[in-house]
Structure 1
Amino acid sequence: MERLSHSPYLSGLWEQLGEPTESLEALTSLTQSAASAEDLQNLKNRFALRWAIDNFSGNIDFDALGKFQSRFADATIEAALRLAWKDTAKRFKLKSEYPKGLFVLGLGKLGGDDLNFSSDIDLIGFYDSAVLPVPENMGQNFVVNHCLKGLTQILFPRNAPQHIWRVDWRLRPESSGTGLALSTSKAEKFYFFRALPWHRLALMKARIVAGDKEVGDTFIESLAPFIWRQNLDFRALDDLAELKTRINTEHPGLAQERRAVAPITEDASGFNLKLGAGGIREIEFLANARQLVWGGKQAELQTTNTRQALQELAALNHLSQKEADTLCAHYATLRQIENAVQMRLNEQTHKIPNSEEDQAALLALLDYASFSDLNEEIFDIRCFVNERFKKLFEAETTSPTTPLATYQTELSTVGKGIAESWLSGFDDHGLPQSLKGRYRGLGKRLLNRVILSIADTNMALIRVDAFLRSISRSAQYFDLLERHEGLLDTLITPLLHSPHMTSILEQSPHIIDVFLTPRQSLEENAQTVLAEPDYGLRLDRLRRFVNEHIFAYYHGFMEKSDSLQQLQKNLTALAQTTLETSITIVKDELELDQINMMVLGLGKMGTSTMAPKSDLDLVFIFTDETDSELASQVVRRLRTTLTTPLKEGIAYELDMRLRPSGRSGPPGVKFSSFETHHLTRAHTWEHIALAHARVVAGNEALGRDVSDLCRRILTKPRDETQFLQDARIMWQRIDEQRIIETPHDHFNAKLRPGGLMQAQYIQACRKVLGQPSYPQLEEAIKFWQYQQVWERLLGLKLESFERVADRFKIGVFKEKGESLSPIEYADRSEVHAASVLRAMDDLFNGIPPPKNDDSQAVLWQST
Structure 2
Amino acid sequence: MTASPSPDAEILQASRFFSNWLSADASRKPLLQQVSELSLRPEGFAQFLQKEICAGVSLNKAMRRLRNLVICSLIKRDLCGQADMDEVVTTISQFADFVVQQHLQAIDADMQAMHGIPIGEESDTEQALIVLGMGKLGGFELNVSSDIDLIFCYAEDGETRVQDATQRSLSNHEYFSRLGKKLIAAISEVTEDGFSFRVDMALRPNGASGPLVASFNMIEEYFLIQGREWERYAWVKARAMTGQPGDIAALEKIIRPFVYRRYLDYGAIDSLRSMHAQIRAEVVRQETKHPERSNNVKLGRGGIREVEFLAQVFQLIRGGRDVSLRDRSTRKTLQTLADKGILDAAIVERLLNSYTFLRNLEHRLQYLDDAQTHTFPVREEDQQRIACMMGCTSVAALLDQLRPHREFIAEQFDAIFRDKANNNSETEQGMLAISLSGPDSDELIAAHLAGLGFSGSDATSITQRLMATWQSPKVQALSEASRNKLVALVNNALNIIARQSSNQLLAWNRLLDFMETIARRAAYLALLTEYPHALARVIRMMAASDWAAKFLSRHPILLDELLDESSLHQRPDWAAFRLDLQHHLDQHQGDTERQMETLREMHHALQFRLLAQDLEGQLSVEHLADELSQLADIIVAAVLQSAWETIASRHRREPRFAVIAYGKQGGKELGYASDLDVIFLYDDEDQEAPANYAKLAQRFITWMTSHTPAGILFDIDIALRPDGASGLLVSSVASFARYQEKSAWLWEHQALTRARFCAGDAAIGAQFEQIREQVLRQQRDDDKLRSEVINMRKKMRDANINRSELFDLKQDAGGMIDIEFIVQYLVLKYASQYPELTANKGNIALLIRCGELGLIDAGLANQTATAYRLFRKLQHSIRLQGEDRARVEPERVSKEAQATKALWDSLLT
| TM-score normalised over the length of structure 2 | 0.77
The aligned residue for residue 375 of structure 2 is: 351
Please tell me the residue identity of whatever aligns with 2:698. R
The aligned residue for residue 135 of structure 2 is: 108
1:61-76 matched pairs, under 5 angstroms: 61-76=84-99
| Cα distance in 2 for residues equivalent to 1:231 and 1:454 | 35
Structure 2 counterpart of 1:565, from 590, 598, 622: 622
Structure 1 counterpart of 2:279, from 247, 270, 289: 247
- What is the Cα deviation at residue 190 of structure 1? 5.6
| Cα distance in 1 for residues equivalent to 2:533 and 2:226 | 34
Please tell me the residue identity of whatever aligns with 2:358. L
| Cα distance in 1 for residues equivalent to 2:726 and 2:192 | 80
| Cα distance in 1 for residues equivalent to 2:287 and 2:474 | 37
- What is the Cα deviation at residue 55 of structure 1? 0.9
Does the 8 A contact of 1:423 with 1:441 survive in 2? Answer: no
**Other structure's SS at 2:532 match:** coil
Does the 8 A contact of 1:203 with 1:227 survive in 2? Answer: yes
1:580-659 matched pairs, under 5 angstroms: 580-590=637-647, 593-624=653-684, 625=686, 627-659=689-721
| Residue range with higher mean Cα deviation, 606-615 or 831-840 | 831-840
The aligned residue for residue 275 of structure 1 is: 299
Say if 2:306 is the partner of 1:259.
Answer: no
| Residue range with higher mean Cα deviation, 328-337 or 298-307 | 298-307
| Cα distance in 1 for residues equivalent to 2:738 and 2:171 | 65
1:172-207 per-position Cα deviation (integer Å, ceiling 9, x unaligned): 444457656656677567657754322332243344
Structure 1 counterpart of 2:604, from 539, 547, 567: 547
The aligned residue for residue 147 of structure 2 is: 120
1:412-441 per-position Cα deviation (integer Å, ceiling 9, x unaligned): 8664244579999x9966664357766766
1:709-748 per-position Cα deviation (integer Å, ceiling 9, x unaligned): 43344445677776666555544443332354665x44x3
- What is the Cα deviation at residue 305 of structure 1? 3.1
**Other structure's SS at 2:149 match:** strand
1:297-337 per-position Cα deviation (integer Å, ceiling 9, x unaligned): 77765543334444555566665656544433332222222
The aligned residue for residue 202 of structure 2 is: 170
Structure 1 residues 421 and 664: CA distance shift in structure 2, 3 A: closer
| Cα distance in 1 for residues equivalent to 2:372 and 2:85 | 19
Say if 2:366 is the partner of 1:342.
Answer: yes
**Other structure's SS at 1:288 match:** helix
Structure 1 residues 837 and 212: CA distance shift in structure 2, 3 A: farther
| Cα distance in 2 for residues equivalent to 1:781 and 1:189 | 63
Does the 8 A contact of 2:117 with 2:126 survive in 1? Answer: no
Does the 8 A contact of 1:78 with 1:211 survive in 2? Answer: no
Structure 1 residues 368 and 188: CA distance shift in structure 2, 3 A: same
- What is the Cα deviation at residue 29 of structure 1? 1.9
- What is the Cα deviation at residue 387 of structure 1? 4.8
| Cα distance in 1 for residues equivalent to 2:130 and 2:210 | 17
1:467-504 per-position Cα deviation (integer Å, ceiling 9, x unaligned): 21221445443443344434345333554564432331
Structure 1 residues 725 and 339: CA distance shift in structure 2, 3 A: same
Say if 2:875 is the partner of 1:788.
Answer: yes
Structure 1 residues 438 and 664: CA distance shift in structure 2, 3 A: closer
The aligned residue for residue 487 of structure 1 is: 534
Does the 8 A contact of 2:119 with 2:126 survive in 1? Answer: no
The aligned residue for residue 28 of structure 1 is: 42
Structure 2 counterpart of 1:689, from 741, 751, 760: 751
**Other structure's SS at 2:456 match:** coil
Does the 8 A contact of 1:741 with 1:752 survive in 2? Answer: no
Does the 8 A contact of 1:102 with 1:211 survive in 2? Answer: yes
Please tell me the residue identity of whatever aligns with 1:618. V
Does the 8 A contact of 1:31 with 1:79 survive in 2? Answer: no
- What is the Cα deviation at residue 58 of structure 1? 0.5
Structure 1 residues 791 and 390: CA distance shift in structure 2, 3 A: closer
Q: State, as a whole percentage, how many aligned pairs show the same letter.
A: 24
- What is the Cα deviation at residue 617 of structure 1? 1.2
**Other structure's SS at 1:599 match:** strand
Structure 1 residues 3 and 716: CA distance shift in structure 2, 3 A: same
1:706-717 matched pairs, under 5 angstroms: 706-715=768-777
The aligned residue for residue 901 of structure 2 is: 834
Does the 8 A contact of 2:541 with 2:615 survive in 1? Answer: no
Does the 8 A contact of 1:237 with 1:289 survive in 2? Answer: yes
| Cα distance in 2 for residues equivalent to 1:217 and 1:828 | 70
1:362-373 matched pairs, under 5 angstroms: 362-363=386-387, 365-373=389-397
| Cα distance in 2 for residues equivalent to 1:87 and 1:764 | 87
The aligned residue for residue 559 of structure 2 is: 512
1:429-444 matched pairs, under 5 angstroms: 432-434=479-481, 442-444=489-491
| Cα distance in 2 for residues equivalent to 1:83 and 1:410 | 81
1:844-863 per-position Cα deviation (integer Å, ceiling 9, x unaligned): xxxxxxxxxxxxxxxxxxxx
**Other structure's SS at 2:708 match:** coil
The aligned residue for residue 841 of structure 2 is: none
Please tell me the residue identity of whatever aligns with 2:312. N
Structure 2 counterpart of 1:760, from 820, 823, 837: 820
Does the 8 A contact of 2:875 with 2:886 survive in 1? Answer: no
1:188-337 matched pairs, under 5 angstroms: 191=223, 195-212=227-244, 216=248, 220=252, 227=259, 233-250=265-282, 255-259=285-289, 269=293, 271-293=295-317, 302-313=326-337, 323-337=347-361
The aligned residue for residue 854 of structure 2 is: none
| Cα distance in 2 for residues equivalent to 1:632 and 1:128 | 45
- Alignment gaps of 5+ in structure 2: 1-8, 54-58, 163-168, 433-447, 832-836, 838-845, 849-860
Does the 8 A contact of 2:118 with 2:127 survive in 1? Answer: no
For this pair of structures, how many residues does the alignment match?
A: 810
1:608-664 per-position Cα deviation (integer Å, ceiling 9, x unaligned): 111131101122333413533332332333222221112232111111222234334
**Other structure's SS at 1:703 match:** helix
Structure 1 residues 200 and 573: CA distance shift in structure 2, 3 A: farther
| Cα distance in 2 for residues equivalent to 1:617 and 1:499 | 26
Please tell me the residue identity of whatever aligns with 2:286. Q
| Cα distance in 2 for residues equivalent to 1:82 and 1:574 | 55
Structure 1 residues 690 and 559: CA distance shift in structure 2, 3 A: same
| Cα distance in 2 for residues equivalent to 1:429 and 1:529 | 39
Say if 2:81 is the partner of 1:58.
Answer: yes
- What is the Cα deviation at residue 53 of structure 1? 1.7
Structure 1 residues 478 and 49: CA distance shift in structure 2, 3 A: same
Structure 1 residues 68 and 666: CA distance shift in structure 2, 3 A: farther
| Cα distance in 2 for residues equivalent to 1:205 and 1:675 | 60
1:364-400 per-position Cα deviation (integer Å, ceiling 9, x unaligned): 5445444444444445544444454445434335242
Say if 2:613 is the partner of 1:556.
Answer: yes
